[in-house]
Chain A
Amino acid sequence: MTTSFKLPIKKGSIITGKWKNGQYRVERLLGEGANGSVYLVSKGWQSYALKMGASSIDLQSEINALKALSGDDSSRRSYLMDVDDWITPQGKEVPFYTMRYVKGLNMANYIAQHGADWFPLLGLNLLRSLGELHRERWIFGDLKLENIIVGEYGEVDLIDFGGATPFGKGVKQFTEIYDRGYWNEGSRSADAAYDLFSFGVLCLQVFAPRKLAQLSKELLPQTRSAEQLIELAREIPQLAPYRKWLEQAFDGGFSHGKEAASAWRAITHQRKPTVKNTATPRWLKVMIAISIVSLCITASLYALDYTGLLR
């Protein structure tokens, strides 16, 4: 069974399209997904991400989804650049497509580096992207940390459209822990609420990946439920303002990404400035304690000295 797809392609190799003769120079491997590998390539001065797949059917299906989503005012219009086949030096024909190269970090790493202050904005940007798909009556399907790239100032890009599915059809590709069906909270038919459920799990995955993994491991299949997820969300301080929102998402309460985005936005902006219990760093506490203690010692020495007891 061909689930993984590996071709040893060296840096500097030239990939030439069989039909349109586009030439791309391979820079490095960016990642490997369910349906293929993604390389960073260059054409002239321009960089692109090039995805090649083992199965031309699966890859084409993904291309079809991207095309269907390239509406007039969609931000994905410029996403898909070129579609072609490459004949490898070994004579094997490999289908590929190129897309805009999105430089950035995965969401968890971004928050680890830039701080949780960014989280509300990333959430909002992501929900807006989902809303755009829902407007075209498609869902992203396989929403997970690995499929999101965050740019320098919190711009969010969805990558890997292998799970993209039109409304009403069976979700094409999903990851268990993000799947509504896995948590006994509904069907695997594509609707906007499916993506929004996964978004809820994603929030937990950002702040409590270990606890979430533990939860899914410990629970019996029939006892998995949104309750457990909501409970876990309660333990995460960064998610405190969004508790109600998350409950609604886990409950299938939003029928469109746009609706979910505006609810999220309302929370983000009406949020009372968090009471300044911004914890004093530990080192500062220690330093203060030390200075108070030394002050007391100096003062008492001085007092003793003054009263002449030390003489």
Chain B
Amino acid sequence: MKQMLIITDGCSNVGMSPIVAAAHAKSEGITVNVVGVVDQGDLGEYGASEIHEIARAGGGLSRLVETKELAQTVQMMTRKTVVQTIQLAVQRELQAVLGNDSIEALPPEKRGEVVQVMDELTESSSLQVALLIDASASMKPKLASVEESIHDLMLSLQAREGKSEIAVFHFPGSKQEDCVLDLDWTTHLKGVHSIFPKLHMSGTTPTGPAMMKVIEYFVQHNDSKRRSEMEGMLGDDVV
């Protein structure tokens, strides 16, 4: 299961539309969630509607919150999205097997069994969450809270039975890059004291291009994983 979670406080202003990028993500099986951090109401109506549109195109959720609610929101959204993804998959199965289009169409006893299976899948499926953090100048005072929420998310993910990994990116980079990898796929944050060391805050917000980079990263990671698995299998055959 793949998720991208964007934390931002403003509108994109450079490069391709983040809504198009979100649709790309969805077609690659990556669900896009967006959290807008609104402390001084600096997001504006346009920013708020962009956030909702990105999430809609990416098949995920969007929320506008204050900095102090960030940790709880990030953790909760990630969990909800896992549940929703499982729900969609199970509903598809139900449709194929029974011709029912929803779990609600089942009588309560049967529904209980299906939901139990779903709860188990929610716990045991493997999960990758890529966090994409807006590091434009106005986000600077909020970065400590962003780090806290990443640690908090890791704590919740570690309690799952299934393998859970996170990776962290920020955008834009200091040398005109669209986005920079801060933390490669990991299952723990032991020894990580600062995820964002010395960021040079910039004024532009290339949300769309940054999202495309993250999608690329997901795709490459999975391809290389598949390749190494293939090699492993071949290797076994040879031995």
With A1-B62, A176-B72 as given contacts, are A189 and B159 in contact (CB-CB < 8 Å)?
Answer: yes
- In the complex, besides A56-B103, A57-B115, A83-B108, 13 extra interface pairs with C-beta distance below 8 angstroms are A56-B111, A57-B87, A57-B118, A63-B112, A64-B112, A64-B115, A84-B108, A85-B104, A95-B104, A169-B161, A188-B159, A189-B158, A221-B152
Beta-carbon contacts of B7-37 to A below 8 Å, as 1s and 0s?
0000000000000000000000000000000
B50 close to A (CB within 8 Å): no
Indicate if the CB atoms of A64 and B116 lie closer than 8 Å: yes
Q: In the bound complex, what is the Cα–Cα distance between A95 and B106 (angstroms)?
A: 11
Interface string of B157-169 (1 = CB under 8 A from A): 0111100000000
Query: What separation, in Å, do the CA atoms of A257 and B87 have in the docked complex?
Result: 34
7 intermolecular pairs with C-beta atoms under 8 Å apart: A60-B115, A64-B116, A170-B156, A170-B160, A188-B159, A189-B159, A221-B148
* Contact residue among B63, B80, B159 (Cβ-Cβ distance under 8 Å from A170): B159
Chain A residues within 8 Å of B87, by CB: 57
CB pair B61 A1 closer than 8 Å: yes
Given A60-B112, A221-B151, A187:B158 Cβ within 8 A:
yes
Task: Give the residues in chain A near B158, CB-CB below 8 Å.
Answer: 187-189
The complex places the Cα of A63 from the Cα of B71 at a distance, in Å, of 28
Contacts of B155 in A (CB 8 A): 181, 187-188
* B:78-92 near A, CB below 8 Å: 80, 83, 87
- The residue in chain A whose Cβ has the minimal distance to the Cβ of B155 is A181
Query: Main SS of the interface on chain A?
Result: mixed
- With contact pairs A56-B111, A171-B159, A187-B155 given, residues A61 and B104 touching in the complex (Cβ less than 8 Å): no
Hey, which chain B residues are within 8 Å of A67, CB to CB? 112
Residues of B within 8 A of A85 (CB): 104, 108
The residue of chain B having its C-beta at the shortest distance from the C-beta of A169 within the complex is B123
Asked if B119 is at the interface (CB within 8 A of a chain A CB), the reply is yes
Q: Which chain A positions have C-beta within 8 A of B191?
A: none
When distances are taken between beta carbons in the complex, the residues of chain B under 8 Å from A64 are 112, 115-116, 119
A184 to chain B, nearest CB (A): 9
The reply to whether A181 and B123 form a contact with Cβ atoms under 8 Å apart is no
Within 8 A of A (CB), among B95-137: 103-104, 107-108, 111-112, 115-116, 118-119, 123
A19 interfacial contact with B, CB 8 Å: yes
Residue of A nearest to B118 (CB): A57
Total chain A interface residues with beta-carbon distance under 8 A: 27
CB-CB under 8 A from B103, the residues of chain A are 56-57, 60
Considering only CB atoms and an 8 Å cut-off, how many residues of chain B contact the other chain? 28
Contacting B at CB under 8 A, from A28-68, are: 56-58, 60-61, 63-64, 67
Q: 3 closest pairs, A vs B, by CB?
A: A170-B159, A188-B159, A60-B115
Task: Please give, as numbers and ranges, the residues of chain A lying within 8 Å of B80 by CB-CB distance.
Answer: 1
Expressed in whole angstroms, the Cα–Cα distance for A64 and B111 within the complex equals 10
A67 to B115, CA, bound (A): 13
Q: How far is the CA of A93 from the CA of B107 in the complex (A)?
A: 13
CA distance A84 to B109 in the complex (A): 10
Q: Which residues from chain A contact B119 at a C-beta distance below 8 Å? A: 61, 64
CB–CB B108/A19 < 8 A: yes
Minimal beta-carbon separation of A156 from chain B (angstroms)? 27
Q: Which residue of A lies closest to B68 (CB)?
A: A217
CB neighbours (8 Å) of B148 from chain A are 221
What is the CA–CA distance of A84 and B104 in the complex, to the nearest angstrom? 10
Whether B115 and A188, one on each chain, are in contact in the complex, defined by CB atoms closer than 8 angstroms, is no
Give chain B residues whose Cβ lies under 8 Å from the Cβ of A176.
71-72
Contact residues in A for B107 (Cβ distance below 8 Å): 19
Chain B 53-64: CB-based contact to A (< 8 A → 1; otherwise 0) = 000000001110
Which residues of A from 255 to 305 have beta carbons under 8 Å from B?
none
What CA separation (Å) do A60 and B104 show in the bound complex?
Answer: 10
Q: Which residue of B lies closest to A63 (CB)?
A: B112
B89: min CB distance to chain A, Å: 13
Residue pair A60, B156 in contact (C-beta under 8 Å): no
Instruction: Determine whether the beta carbon of A181 is less than 8 Å from that of B104.
Output: no
With the chains together, A169 CA to B161 CA distance in Å?
7
**Are A170's CB and B108's CB within 8 A?**
no
Could you tell me the distance between the alpha carbons of A56 and B158 in the complex, rounded to whole angstroms? 27
Q: Establish whether residues B123 and A60, one from each chain, have CB atoms under 8 Å apart when the complex forms.
A: no
Interface positions, chain A 165-212, Cβ under 8 Å from B, are 168-171, 176, 181-182, 187-190
Assembled-state Cα–Cα distance A193/B103 (Å): 35
Measured between alpha carbons, how far is A209 from B163 in the docked complex, in Å? 38
Rounded to whole angstroms, the CA-CA distance of A207 and B122 in the bound complex is: 38
- How far, in whole Å, are A53 and B63 apart by their CA atoms in the complex? 21
> What are the residues of chain A within 8 A of B160 when measuring CB–CB?
169-170
Task: List the A residue with the shortest CB-CB distance to B63.
Answer: A1
Give the CA-CA distance A188 to B155 in the complex, in Å: 7
Residue on B nearest A168 in the bound complex, by CB: B161
When distances are taken between beta carbons in the complex, the residues of chain A under 8 Å from B116 are 64
- B-chain residues with CB within 8 Å of residue A61 when the two chains form the complex: 115, 118-119
Residue of A nearest to B77 (CB): A1
Chain B: CB-nearest residue to A93: B104
Give the distance to chain A from B189, nearest Cβ to Cβ, in Å.
Answer: 12
